[in-house]
Chain A
């Protein structure tokens, strides 16, 4: 009797675990791995299996290439995104606030958005060769317009009545920009910056692929030239994991903090 009760308890605990949010997350991950394995075994020729991919990345680690090249790309992407953040917000908010700035930047921003990163990557190799400058400039050129457009839309969404209140109280411009303008724009900036991370990363890696001797993009190209798809895919996974980690450990907590007032605001019911 006691054994039956404990087995019922443990099976319901397993069921609860499987149907929990975390359970759903792990089920999706394991399923993706399973599909990858099946595709590599039976469907797609020359698709490395998860085991083969991990093996080659372990080799990359052992010969010192993994960490070195990751750090090089991270440094470039970090610099790129810092520049994008400043330029994108400045250009976008200027466009939202001042009509002349809107007309000045509008065409430039839309032309930059429509130009593929591929073109910039090739041009940067011609202009700057195998230097740090190329990947960073391409990343900035590809990602800045995206953030600028989002910042522009955000700047237009700043409540006019709060602006008037700030003016009436002679709130210093810097404080108004930080506490009102930037904060009203934050959801737009957030959405824009999320895409910027993808675009900036893509721009940097693409340029590394075409004309660089270091970085994740360079290693991918290296293995492509060596006709080794295990290495190519392995470095692709590094890129994906980085973007997922940024999203999970940086953007998610930040977004929760930004939206704390909304949650708080819903508590009042009277």
Chain B
């Protein structure tokens, strides 16, 4: 075991950090059920049509599962994550998120790091923590807890720095550490590596696989990069531009995976073929028909 009892991280024999049981939720797993979720954004000006972002999305995920939502820009992937997180509400349908019937904790890694620029890294981490108790030393315990996760993403020495003093990749790692630090039952990730350079993104993907492997969290990962989805996921949900799930594809490949694995490459090709088929069908469908179908959904 690489974790000491007080929660401090110890490096393994190869210099790799291990989270171990420290942020497992005691085997308690979340269940996410989305039933026929529809989301329509009202038009902001007169004469403008309402925008149908999601159109009957249904799926279930529970426990230690990594699900990727893949689709073209504007297909409602991020809207779905916002609905799961409670930032947005559904127009129709429902999203149930529970762990043992109670409320599941949610961690959210956004496209941009979304750190409070006037707070240090440590303060940013503490900002999202549940209120600490009044007993003596509870605040220090919370700091120790947060330090553990900063160490985990290799940023233990940056706790007193401001986000503006960190590179984009480091800020995103703080975002990941912040999400993990609340020991989430569900981890939402909205294109977390899309703003990073290829080398940093590749390193963080590997790191994410390792970190997630040590948790019980259900991950909902939004991306439009098929390779990224194949590399990380147990299941890929392909979404089309009308905001529906076009295909539900399980990925049964051994972990850890690398971009150059033969099976990863061939699975990626299969998914891309389905993706291209979906795009073709979408282009053939007249724009007017799609709008009518969507507004019909809204009217119902």
Contacts and interface: CB of A to CB of B under 8 A. Distances in A.
Nearest to A264: B162
A183 B85 CA distance: 24
B165 interface: yes
Given A165-B110, A179-B116, A261-B118, A171 B128 contact: yes
Contact of A175 (B82, B117, B118, B127): B127
B127 A171 contact: yes
Contact of B167 (A164, A175, A258, A268): A268
A270 B119 CA distance: 20
B73 to A, nearest CB: 18
A268 B166 CA distance: 7
Interface of B is mostly: loop
A175 B110 CA distance: 21
A180 B182 CA distance: 19
Contact of B117 (A171, A172, A265): A265
Contacts of B163: 265
Interface of A is mostly: helix
B191 to A, nearest CB: 14
Interface string A242-270: 00000000000000001001101111101
Contact of A165 (B114, B165, B166): B114
A266 B164 CA distance: 7
B186 to A, nearest CB: 11
B131 interface: yes
Contacts of B20: none
Contact of B131 (A164, A169, A172): A172
Given A161-B114, A268-B165, A167 B119 contact: no
Contacts of A268: 164-167
Tell me which of A162, A165, A175, A262 has the highest count of chain B C-beta atoms within 10 A of its own C-beta.
A165
A62 to B, nearest CB: 49
A119 interface: no
Contacts of A165: 108, 110, 114
A169 B118 contact: no
Interface residues of A, number: 24
A166 to B, nearest CB: 8
A169 B87 contact: no
Nearest to B160: A264
B112 interface: yes
Contacts of A267: 164-165
Contacts of B114: 161-162, 164-165
A266 B107 CA distance: 29
A44 interface: no
Nearest to B179: A169
B161 interface: yes
Tell me which of A161, A179, A183 has the highest count of chain B C-beta atoms within 10 A of its own C-beta.
A179
A179 B116 CA distance: 9
B110 A169 contact: no
Interface string B112-136: 1010111100010001100100000
A266 B161 CA distance: 12
Contacts of B127: 166, 169, 171, 175, 179
Contacts of A180: 116
Interface string B203-231: 00000000000000000000000000000
A261 B87 CA distance: 28
A197 B128 CA distance: 35
B106 A168 contact: yes
Contacts of B118: 183, 258, 261
Interface in B68-86: 82, 85-86
Contacts of A266: 164
Contacts of B119: 179, 261
A261 B167 CA distance: 15
Interface string B142-177: 000000000000000000011111110000000000
B164 A261 contact: yes
Nearest to B188: A168
A168 B117 CA distance: 18
A96 B168 CA distance: 31
A169 B182 contact: yes
B164 to A, nearest CB: 2
B173 to A, nearest CB: 15
10 contacts: A161-B110, A167-B86, A168-B82, A169-B106, A169-B128, A172-B131, A264-B161, A264-B165, A265-B164, A267-B165
